[in-house]
Structure 1
Amino acid sequence: MLKKIKIKYINLPIQVRASFWFLICTFTQKAVNVITTPIFTRLLSTSEYGEYNVYTSWLGIFTVFISLNLSQGVFMRGLLKYKNHKDEFASSMQFLTLILVLSSILIYLPLSHVINNMTNLNTTRTILMVLTIWLTSIFGFWAAEQRVDYQYKKLVPITLIVTITGQLFGIILIKNFEDKVTGRILGTLIIDALFYMWLFVIDIKKGKTFINIEYWRYALSFNIPLIPHYLSQVILNSSDRIMIERMVGTSAAGIYGLAYSISQVMTMFNTALAQTEEPWLYRKIQDNNIEAIKPVAYISFIFIAIVNLLLILLAPEIISVFAPKAYYDAVWIIPPIAMSVFFSFSYYFFAVFEYYYERTKPIAIASCIGAGVNIILNFVLIPVFGYYAAGYTTLLCFIIYATFHYYFMRKICFSELNGKEPFSLKVYLSIAFIFIVLGFLIQFTYNLRWIRYLFLVVFFAVSFLKRKTILLIINKLKNIKKGE
């Protein structure tokens, strides 16, 4: 039996094997972060946990400004564009990012007092943040090279070792540092430095190219116009914690941050499905076979809705496992944030048409509107309703975000596909409406445990009775992975 499985695995195309291991790697990373969360919430007070969440929020924002996200989409495109000079392109991007990082430190030092007042971070944490941005960019470049060449045997073990040891070392430093938050930051940073610095050296030695104006012009001209989009996405996901910390306090930011982290675990399903379906969607658009997208879209929307409803159902138990009683109020924030994950996933199906036809302007517009509305609503509602309001503003803004992307998708379908649409708006809205209604109904049962448990019994009973249908759906998604 095992021998047959091994032979079947060996006979799989390298692309399928690589995709499988990249997916396993992503899930394991998320799993390690989830498993260690209960440890960190017990080692850190709600206030300290809030400080760390605010730090990670600023980390996301400053990453866009300092690194210009050069290790993301543009680098992958560049590796394909300059496929005969990949090593030279990679080393030049590594050196350009190093220059950006050093320049940011030189700009920061004379302005440290002003910037520290703006971020509520001290100089030590800010310098550690900049170094973290550089090290993660190094890994981002190297990881993209491995993905292009399907070198999963190198990428997967390094990723998992760094993830696990970084978490463990963070725990050790928290226990031995008076400043526990800085210990948490430094624990991850030291492990990143030990593993990623040599990746930087390898890329530089292979490419032997420091400055190449053609490569730099290409990367900067592509990514700089997308900065509003990248920044808006970060703000949409991070501004809540920063604003809560400023308006309510670090303890509230910690409680909200825990709820957000738990809810965002479900994005692993978003990532998994997106990585599976995105190449397939591109092929269907290319072949003008838009009708084939419809059943897959409906299955995907329903699947994401169900896993998030399950999270909402189990939220009180999950919170009790993940954190002590001081964090329990996080349970009331999980439902709206979990619902926002559904609309975040919808974005993938809408935006794929924008990316395929290279309509980057609508992408930036939708992102900026979503982020702008999020900041305004938080500014108005948090002082009135407290930090709970941030969960509902997040949900509303992701609905707006998805709506604009759907609108732009329809315009593209009208102009490029003779009005063909990948799915019915009526069906999508029906799924979304039922999902939201059920999500809020479940939330109302948090103080009525027996009703919530009845919901769970019904859920598992229906799953058992419909197991054949569920298996057919899983097989359908497997066939997508094979390109059928």
Structure 2
Amino acid sequence: MTQSHLFAHRVGLVGLTQLAVGLQGLILLPILTKNLSIENYGIWAQIMVTIGIVPQIALFGLPYTMVRYIPAIEKKDDLQETFYSIFSIVISSTIFSSIILYLFSEKIANVLFEGNLLVAQILVVIVFFECLILFFINYLRAKQYIKKYSTIMLAKTLLMISTIGYFVFSGYGITGAVYGLLLIDVVLFLILTILVYNDVGFAVPHFHNMKEYLNFGIPTVPGNLSSWVVNSSDRYVIGILLGASSVGYYSPGYSLGGIVRMFVSPLTFLLPSILSENYDKKQIENVKHILGYSFKYFMIIAIPATFGLSILSKPLLTILSTPEIAEKGYLVTPFVAVSMLLFGAYAITVQIIILEKQTHIGGKIWIIAAIFNLVLNFLLVPYIGIIGAAFTTLLAFGFSFIIAFIYSSKMLPFDMSLRPILKSLFSSSVMAIPIILYEPTGLYNILLIIALCAAIYFVLMYALKTFMDEEILFFKSLIHHR
């Protein structure tokens, strides 16, 4: 199997996995919004936001450091030294972070969770396991164990839906949902521990190259924190200024628009290790080839998705949540969908900066974007509500992509032709006409119009000769490859 076929197969496998993970959020959305109060759903959204940020800060960027360095390691002794050197720091920082969260749990409960101290205390334990799970997942990523990764993520998806659904339907409310989340984390932690230990074995680390690893990882922390500010702090700001109920109105629309991000997830998962391997072997043309095709096909898929989700936001939210949430939150989706489109473009172009080990540049980009985003949120949210938060998110992601593009173009330019993008924009505009004219309601009608519009889009893209002959041959060979 050629490298191109292998990469495409892995993208497909991870893509299907990410699709399942994305559907998890959509399946849980009606379960939670229709069975919890709007305030408790807002608390749930705050919990998920908090789980997303703490590991990114507490782990000093070391899980991602593994993804950069481990692919080039061939000897088992070197692998053990690298893994356990990093793991020793990770477990220490995880314990320290959990203690800090516990000490401030009462204040966190009052600010974010409407005074629910029990939820805040359970969250401390969840964060502990989430940090270690993130570390182990990134080991699978670094070793390119795609089937194991996909199996774990699919198992997590099924556990999330079944366990949280059980607790909520049984009447245990937000507390039951949080206990369910903790139970899932414990199970995943045990499974991952066994998988990773069987692969790595055990060795006492001597902390060789630890300075280099920290020099790579630590500069990513401000960027991760700032990226979180741009991605998620809007819910904190809304919660502080407008209350948990407004977070409950905002989050479903944000989640729907966030589906666009799902299309770049396979690439952000696979590209770092694959590009690092090629780059370290001086195979620069391979790097450019992979980046060029990644950018082109992300745009070809994400642009029509952005159009469709934006126009169908209100009827989709009516099905997935409640009419009240749909009425108050549907305008959030278009802003977030375009934001995620820009994030996807950023996530591909920034790979060059990472390959050059200039992680401080990404950090600076997100720091500026975060300050800009946070200031605008506090200025706009009190006056124009949740739409103000969605608008500032769009501006921040746009800024991040533009600056990353400027830097990466100077380091290692690759093909980012505008022609396929313009063809996609035209085809998406034509595709949107039946949606606007028909105004579908109900799940069956929406699925029918989506199928029709997808057919219109790809027929137009083919007629406009968006796909080169060698690309068509490649995908045909991919389908029939054994």
- TM-score w.r.t. the length of structure 2 is 0.80
Counterpart Cα distance in 1 of 2:267 and 2:147 = 22
The 2-side partners of 1:28 and 1:477 are apart by 27
1:68 partnered with 2:66: no
Q: Kindly indicate whether the alpha-carbon contact (under 8 Å) linking 1:173 and 1:184 is maintained by their aligned counterparts in 2.
A: yes
| Residues 1:228 and 2:222 are matched in the alignment | yes
Distance 1:81 1:293, change over 3 A: closer
Correspondence for 2:90:
97
Cα deviations by residue, 1:129-184 (Å, 9 ceiling, x for unpaired): 33323323333333334344444444333332232123211122223455x22221
Which 10-residue stretch deviates more, 130-139 or 49-58?
130-139
Residue 476 of structure 1 is matched in structure 2 by 471
Counterpart in the other structure of 1:30: 22
Residue 311 of structure 2 is matched in structure 1 by 313
1:11-160 equivalences in 2 (<5 Å): 18-71=10-63, 73-80=64-71, 82-84=73-75, 85=77, 86-120=79-113, 122-160=116-154
Matched, 1:192 2:192: no
Q: Match for 2:284: what amino acid?
A: Q
Q: Which residue of 2 aligns with 1:383?
A: 382
8 Å Cα contact 1:235-1:371 kept in structure 2: yes
Aligned 1:233-252 pairs, distance under 5 A: 233-252=227-246
Counterpart residue number, 2:345: 346
Distance 1:242 1:445, change over 3 A: farther
- Structure 1 residues 130 and 70: alpha-carbon distance in aligned structure 2, compared to 1, 3 A threshold: farther
The one-letter amino acid of 1:189's match is L
Q: 1:258 aligns with which of 252, 259, 262?
A: 252
Q: How many residues are treated as equivalent by the alignment?
A: 459
| Correspondences of 1:387-466 after superposition (within 5 Å) | 387-412=386-411, 422-423=415-416, 449=439, 459=453, 462-463=456-457, 465-466=459-460
- The share of aligned pairs that are identical, in percent, is 19
Moved more, 113-122 or 300-309: 113-122
Distance 1:324 1:28, change over 3 A: same
1:174 paired with 2:171, answer no
| 1:90–1:203 Cα contact (<8 Å) kept | no
Normalization by structure 1: what TM-score? 0.80
Q: Distance in 2 between matches of 1:294 and 1:78?
A: 23
Paired residues of 2:295 and 2:348 also in contact (CA < 8 A): yes
Distance 1:44-1:83 versus aligned 2 partners, 3 A rule: farther
CA shift for structure 1 position 29 = 2.0
The answer to whether the 8 Å contact 2:140/2:149 transfers is yes
Q: What is the distance in 1 between the residues matched to 2:37 and 2:215? A: 44
C-alpha spacing 1:293/1:170, structure 2 compared with 1 (3 Å): closer
Maintained 8 Å contact 1:89/1:207: no
Moved more, 278-287 or 209-218: 278-287
Inter-partner Cα distance in structure 2 for 1:102 and 1:289: 38
Judged with a 3 Å threshold, the aligned counterparts in structure 2 of structure 1 residues 432 and 123 are, in CA distance, closer, same or farther, namely farther
| Aligned mates of 2:460, 2:421 — CA distance in 1 | 23
Q: Corresponding residue for 1:3?
A: none
In 1: Cα distance, 2:203 partner to 2:289 partner: 47
Kindly provide the CA deviation profile for residues 184-209 of structure 1, in whole angstroms up to 9, marking residues without a partner as x: 12212202202312533665685434
Distance 1:107 1:463, change over 3 A: closer
Q: Could you tell me how far apart the structure 2 residues matched to 1:152 and 1:457 are?
A: 30
Mind listing any 5+ residue stretches in structure 2 that lack a counterpart? 441-445
| Contact 2:112–2:240 (CA under 8 A) maintained in structure 1 | no
Q: Structure 1 residues 97-106 or 151-160, which shifts more? A: 151-160
Shift of 1:433: 8.9
Gap change, CA 1:136 and 1:290, over 3 Å in 2: closer
Q: Secondary structure at the match of 1:43?
A: coil
Whether the 8 Å contact between 1:337 and 1:394 is mirrored in structure 2 is yes
Change (3 A) 1:323 1:112: closer
Aligned-partner residue type, residue 227 of structure 1: V
Q: For residues 381 and 166 of structure 1, do their structure 2 counterparts lie closer, same or farther at Cα, with a shift above 3 Å needed?
A: same
SS in 2 for 1:287: helix
| In 2, Cα distance between equivalents of 1:247 and 1:433 | 37
Q: Distance in 2 between matches of 1:111 and 1:299?
A: 45
Choose 254-263 or 458-467, whichever is displaced more: 458-467
Whole-Å Cα distance in 2 between the matches of residues 151 and 291 of structure 1?
Answer: 23
